Structure 1
């Protein structure tokens, strides 16, 4: 008996990637960790904060520049922190860190950015020179801050719903409390 008859190939040749298989960068990107409404809101936060930053950068001169500089710092920080949170949620980094800490960080980052963006937009509105770029920047700033605060409200609602599901039922057992433990 020859070796060819005994040692036949037991696997098929690789015919290439199957339909629907993910490869390359797509294999590392999983947006399903966030529900669709929060995913859309996170995308809008990213887009609106970037647009606010770009519109603010177009401003060539200012009379009272303090509000402009504060708005610039907040809009750039908001964009970068939002991008960071999206990368954590949508890449394998999420699997390497504690999910509770990611959600808690997202909770506080979203609240902080939303509040600071709203404050920066109010200050910028009160100090700008009424050019079209400044008006567009403040509009995008108010829209972005509303998206951050809406996302924060959704997270508060989800935490409230989650705590109500975990809450045990309260039963009235007054007679059991008066009985001795060793009886």
Structure 2
């Protein structure tokens, strides 16, 4: 069990592991099963997709497809209203295991027709405009990363991509840092 952005199963029950580790282990077991039986079982990376590059990472780790609830919840086309939270536009997003969703059948152990405790939260995600624009941008990023890996297909990406553990300092270093960044959308300046 990995962890999605609205999932608190690991907090409430103390089970599970990081999404990447869970995905890699399940894909390894899938591949072993395929070698033994000739039966290929597609794997879904369910949870943990926050940034566009997380999709490419999930595919590189062996996922055949992904759950993208948080991703799609941000767009105009999602069924929730756009709201202003502390000066920033947001969209509502909640987990299946939250009290709001009341998806008892998935989480209850049987017997009582109630949600015994929650395993998800009710939250907001930053508003991202239209689905058309967002998906096009995401696809360009995924394709560009595949190109960087010399891959023309997802199976080729899974074969050629090299995953490396990086430090939190390396992640900061991978973005803009030690400069004053001009924010073109608000004509303000912020220091990173």
| TM-score, structure 2 normalization | 0.24
Greater helix percent: which structure? 1
Q: More relative contact order in 1 or in 2 (CA 8 Å, sep 6+)?
A: 1
Greater strand percent: which structure? 2
Rg: which structure is higher? 1
